[in-house]
Amino acid sequence: MVLTQTQRPNYWSQLAVLLGLIGGGIVISSIVMAIISLVVLVPDGLAGAAKAEAIQEALLKPENITYAQLFQVFGTFFMMFIPSVAFILIFYKNFLWAGFSKYVNPAQLVLGFFIMLVANYFAAPFEDITKMGLAHFPGIDSVARSAEKMYTDAIASMSNLQGWGQFVLAVFIVALLPAMFEELLFRGVLQNLLVKWIKKPVVALIITSLLFSLIHASYYLFISRFVLGYALGLLFFKTKNIWINIFAHFMNNLMALSVLFYSNMHKATGAKAADIDPKMPIWSLVITFAILYGLFVLLDKVSKENRNRIVLNENLLFNNSPSLAELP
């Protein structure tokens, strides 16, 4: 079955192909990382659970920081970037569909940066709210604590930078590439597909943000990551330009990396994942939400002309129609 207007397979088929591509990427990345781990990181004579535990412990050692960073890149490259590129080439043949457009202005980039900055402050209180909620469920809270320890150990390991050379490399490996790969999959492909499919942008943004938060594997920060994912989703919906999202996400990663690098260089205890997230009182939600709302209103105004151009080009390329009826 195809979409009659475009002669493409229907959205169910497109989603099935996307999931298949992601599944294949997971398999390939697992094989690549397993080979590297077995050859480089694991002592001879270990097997089964002992081998898996040895790999995990080895990746947390400071001397293996490069491997930890590369594993992150391999994972996002094969699970996100390659499936997204393949999906676009299979069904749409043009990267404009995913938001790769030349129509961007400096005001959009500046506002994208400040939106992510304020979104971090708005999301911060949800960590404490989540902890207070899970405290009433000791079993779940215990699992959350264990998962949080693994998450913070991994963050600290990848951020255990010993000099400016490692920092510059980490800017590329830890900050830029993941931002590009994640935005391409979650906003450029998945959110885009869901918005066009179900015709309810809010629902599409919620689904995408939930999945975005899930991959970060943090119980206590689940709502916070959902908020950041929703802010990025709304940023893409308002601009229809993935470059703005990549820039905003990269700057967000860069700020976090810089904080960890500074902590590692100047604190006796070294860098900790807790250094990244600002601590804000619950009442600050009102103020930060108001600022965030105002920034998005301003973004909508400065993006209108570029968004119109992008929508017109999309309709000409993919719908064979110059209509601007779908403008948000």
Residue-range definition of the domain harbouring residue 223: 93-319
Q: How far is CA 304 from CA 86, 193, 194, 301, 328, in A?
A: 30, 22, 22, 6, 9
80 within domain boundaries: no
Q: How many domains does the chain have?
A: 1
249 within domain boundaries: yes
123 within domain boundaries: yes
Give the list of residues 6+ apart from residue 6 with CB closer than 8 angstroms, or none.
318, 319, 320
326 within domain boundaries: no
11 within domain boundaries: no
pLDDT score, position 43: 58
Q: Tens of pLDDT along the chain (328 residues)? A: 444 445 788 999 999 999 999 999 999 988 887 777 766 666 555 455 555 565 566 655 666 666 777 777 888 999 999 999 999 999 999 999 999 999 999 999 999 999 999 999 999 999 999 999 988 888 888 888 887 877 776 666 666 677 788 888 889 988 999 999 999 999 999 999 999 999 999 999 999 999 999 988 788 889 999 999 999 999 999 999 999 999 999 999 999 888 888 877 766 555 555 556 778 899 999 999 999 999 999 999 999 999 999 999 998 888 765 444 343 3
Asked whether the beta carbons of 25 and 83 are under 8 A apart, the reply is yes
Residue found by looking up tokens 């991959």 in the block: 215
67 within domain boundaries: no
83 within domain boundaries: no
